Structure 1
Amino acid sequence: MRGLICGPKLAACGVVLSIWGVIMLAMLGIFFTMHSAVLIEDLPLTDEDTFKNSTTPQKVYDLYQKVGYNCFIAAAVYVLCGAFSWCQMRLNKQNYMNSHS
């Protein structure tokens, strides 16, 4: 069948992983843009950023926004991968129905 790249089990696994990736990354993006204090260890801060700079709070807030934006981009990539896997599941189902009719 034309356009069929992966089997039914791999396609289903791709859908499940994509759903989980979208949920997880969207939540992380929301929490980073809300400047969650729990996630400060996940920011790419250096000692110079935290101790020697007088504009530290604004720099930290900018990093929170940047990382949150990156999480939303990654969630969008997972949506695309999920859509591809969903199409593969549909093609596998059509292929199965055509071969057994």
Structure 2
Amino acid sequence: MAKSPRYSKLHICGPGLSICCSLISVWGIIMLAIVGGLLSAKSAAFIEDIPEVDEHNLSYEERLNKGFDLAATNCYGAVGLYLGCLIFCGIQVFFNIKASAMKN
């Protein structure tokens, strides 16, 4: 059975790659959401990983809080990127399932 032109434009990666990337995306979302939550809660475990904010008119505590907020925002941004990757790879998994069903 021939593939439709619309289907062949949307089918980019194979079944193994799409499943692997989906699993890695799920893991990345979980881990970065946890790290972002811990950074939002200002966990002391991340004190050495906090970027220094160069605003000299702020106290040390205010600069530290701003650094925690910046790092948490970066983690949540990465969660959004992993979510986009998960959506893309999930669509590819769907197309691979559809392609294997068309062969049978």
TM-score, reference length from structure 2: 0.85
Does the alignment pair 1:90 with 2:94? yes
Q: How far off is 1:76 after superposition?
A: 1.0
Instruction: Name the Cα RMSD after superposition.
Output: 1.8
Superposition map of 1:28-43 within 5 A: 28-43=35-50
Which residue of the partner structure matches residue 75 of structure 1?
79
Question: Residues 52 and 63 of structure 2 are in contact (CA less than 8 Å); yes or no, is this contact kept in structure 1?
Answer: no
Structure scoring higher RCO (CA < 8 A, sep ≥ 6) equals: 1
Which residue of the partner structure matches residue 27 of structure 1?
34
Residue identity opposite 1:68 in structure 2:
A
Q: How far off is 1:44 after superposition?
A: 1.8
Q: 2:70 aligns with which of 63, 66, 73?
A: 66
Aligned to 1:92, what secondary structure does the other structure show? Answer: helix
Which residue of the partner structure matches residue 8 of structure 1?
15
Unaligned runs of 5+ in 1: none
Q: How far off is 1:43 after superposition?
A: 1.0
Identity %: 30
